Amino acid sequence: EDQVTQSPEALRLQEGESSSLNCSYTVSGLRGLFWYRQDPGKGPEFLFTLYSAGEEKEKERLKATLTKKESFLHITAPKPEDSATYLCAVNSGNTGKLIFGQGTTLQVKP
């Protein structure tokens, strides 16, 4: 059964304190791994898609990496506006079905 596990569940950082969020996955055949950001009361906002092990993508203070078993979302020198829940999802078939993890809620304090 396809499964996605994110850790930690919650993370508190001081502004400027870099850290990483983890997404471990078990799928029968990975076709894509997605990172989304979700603010309270809003829908998820697309950040990155990673397709194969070794791939990396960056956007401002965020960098996503992928191995055969997990993905990391590295946050460099975070700011309070980076506070949100970060969701990881995998696509393993042709139906478009995404399997989501529970998310990591990040709080960045000034």
Residues making contact with another protein (CB under 8 A): 4, 31-32, 34, 36, 41-46, 49, 51, 87, 89, 91, 94-103
Q: If we measure between CA atoms, which residue out of 60, 46, 53, 57 comes closest to residue 89?
A: 46
In this complex, which beta carbon is closest to another protein, that of residue 96 or of residue 110? 96
In this complex, which beta carbon is closest to another protein, that of residue 9 or of residue 110? 9
In this complex, which beta carbon is closest to another protein, that of residue 65 or of residue 85? 85
Q: If we measure between CA atoms, which residue out of 9, 60, 1, 55 comes closest to residue 32?
A: 55
The dihedrals phi and psi of 80, each to the nearest 5 degrees, come to -55, -35
Least separation in angstroms between residue 63's CB and another protein is 18
Strands 19-26 and 62-66: unpaired
Least separation in angstroms between residue 44's CB and another protein is 5
